[in-house]
A = this chain, B = another copy of it.
């Protein structure tokens, strides 16, 4: 049995945010990347919860709460930077973005998304990616990127019945 992920159980979420920001600082420092105030803030907002967040939700906070002049490109550029360096992931089936648990190494996770509480649990199971690579090999298909998004009910929301 694996360790149950924080995402779908009560926890001190401030710690998640702090850690994510700290890891981002470290990663950017190490790679000579510029984690600007805007990018840092967008990352923080994406980490506001474990629920994938829409670009326009981020935009709304920047405008209304931060009083920052912001139009869509402002947000999308920040998100592009964060995506490119693995600090956030995009959930295609939701048109939304979620913070990455472990940005230290390049990867594309697998996401288990609860339709009830909307939490997105990220895993990185070689059993899944290997089975995909294996099927691809049978086709002679060269894999460049994998999107695995599973929707259903997390353990907590099942219990809450």
In the complex, whether A150 has a CB less than 8 A from a CB of chain B is: yes
Q: Which residues of B contact A5 (CB under 8 A)?
A: 139
Query: How does the 8 Å CB contact mask read for A82-119 relative to B, with 1 for contact and 0 for none?
Result: 00000000001100000000000000001010110000
Docked Cα-Cα span, A92 to B153, in Å, equals: 20
A125 & B121 in contact (Cβ 8 Å cutoff):
no
In the complex, whether A22 has a CB less than 8 A from a CB of chain B is: no
Which one of B2, B130, B147 lies within 8 Å of A139 (CB-CB)? B2
Docked Cα-Cα span, A113 to B6, in Å, equals: 33
Integer count of this chain's copies in the complex: 2
B155 & A141 in contact (Cβ 8 Å cutoff):
yes
Shortest distance from the beta carbon of A36 to any chain B beta carbon, whole Å: 28
Docked Cα-Cα span, A131 to B128, in Å, equals: 5
Query: How does the 8 Å CB contact mask read for A126-142 relative to B, with 1 for contact and 0 for none?
Result: 01101110111011111
Which one of B4, B134, B145 lies within 8 Å of A151 (CB-CB)? B145
B127 & A148 in contact (Cβ 8 Å cutoff):
no
Known: A128-B128, A134-B127. A147 touches B92 (CB 8 A): yes
Interface residues of A (CB under 8 A from B): 1-2, 4-5, 8, 92-93, 110, 112, 114-115, 121, 123, 125, 127-128, 130-132, 134-136, 138-155, 158
A-B contact pairs, 14 of them (CB 8 A): A4-B139, A92-B93, A112-B135, A123-B135, A125-B131, A125-B135, A128-B135, A139-B155, A142-B153, A142-B158, A144-B153, A145-B150, A145-B152, A148-B148
